[in-house]
Amino acid sequence: MPDELFTLAAATTGAPAAAPFGRMSVAMVTPFLDDGGLDLEGTAALAEKLVDQGCDGLVVSGTTGESPTTSDAEKDLILRAVLEAVGSRARVVAGVGTNDTRHTSELAQAAQKAGAHGLLLVTPYYSRPPQEALYQHFVAVASATDLPVMLYDIPVRTGVPIATETLLRLAEHDRIVAVKDAKGDVFASSEVIARSGLAYYSGDDALNLALLTHGAVGVVSVVGHVAAAQYAQMIRAVDSGDLRRALDLHRQVIPAVRGIMTRTQGAIMAKAAVQHLGVIRHRTVRSPLIPATDEQVALLRADLAEAGLA
């Protein structure tokens, strides 16, 4: 990019006004023992490692945390383990979204009781509710606790996007304050950012830099399991208008994004990555997922080495 374009960018960027769930957040994997049971010691160790590497936010029991295959009781244990480990140093957000409004509200209330700092609410999946139903679902859950809410817009998984007008309506609720955006539509996200007070977080590592330059306040990353420091530097570079530095960091981590996010499920490869780095003991996942193969891990190691992360 010519120098004059970087100069123009530097004049028009700046730190976002509000980041209710931190800036550099990771959607944490849930460590399991070799027999598939919860590894709460490993969970705490991973949370501490991520915060030490630059995370000021953690999301537990999201998709990457294998929430569909953990029980309500296990979700409570996971949340409490992370809060005890790093709750004084990072914003800890509990994933409570399901496709049942009543169940989601119950999980939200349990998360508040455990001490969560906020809630992540994914669009109800499989049922494919219309936009008015989405609106009513999110308002009902947001009204069930006193916690701030981050909506999770990921139509590739849920089958239904949250429409721009629905997001603008939801922004009027006092406790709906943020969006984890994995819609893959930067223009739509830009419009909501411009027309509302919602804090946007990139939920798609391939688009982290793009969304930050359009006004996102931070990221909720999977690749951040291995690149938290690099993404934190990218956020600071965008804040200061140093887009050349931000682009260099984006390009550095491309091999890691490829290795974790493109060959199979991100939860599978993120877990393999942190095991490879010695942070957790096992790469066990719960069915219907299957652990990374030795061949996949070998490719991942090469990717991480190319990115300078291993």
Q: Which two tokens stand for residue 305?
A: 């080495």
Q: What DSSP string runs through 2-64?
A: -HHHHHHHHHH----S--BTBSEEEE----B-TTS-B-HHHHHHHHHHHHHTT-SEEEESSTT
Residue-wise burial string across 137-167, b where 16 or more C-beta atoms lie within 10 A, e elsewhere:
bbbebbebbebbbbbbbbeeebebbbbbebb
Check if 152 is active-site: yes
- Cis peptide leading into residue 288 (ω within 30°): yes
Do 78 and 40 form a contact (C-beta atoms < 8 A)?
A: yes
Q: What 3-state class would DSSP assign to 179? A: strand
Please tell me which residue in 49, 75, 180, 271 is annotated as part of the active site: 180
Check if 180 is active-site: yes
Do 26 and 224 form a contact (C-beta atoms < 8 A)?
A: yes
User: Can you tell me the distance from the alpha carbon of 65 to that of 61, in angstroms, rounded to the nearest whole number?
Assistant: 5
Provide φ and ψ at 67, rounded to 5°. Answer: -60, -30
User: Can you tell me the distance from the alpha carbon of 288 to that of 100, in angstroms, rounded to the nearest whole number?
Assistant: 21
Radius of gyration of the chain (CA): 18
Provide φ and ψ at 222, rounded to 5°. Answer: -95, -45
Please tell me which residue in 125, 135, 152, 231 is annotated as part of the active site: 152
Identify each DSSP E strand in the chain by its residue range.
24-27, 57-60, 91-95, 118-122, 149-153, 176-181, 199-202, 218-221
Annotated binding-site positions for pyruvate: 64, 220
Annotated binding-site positions: 64, 220
Positions annotated as catalytic residues are 152, 180
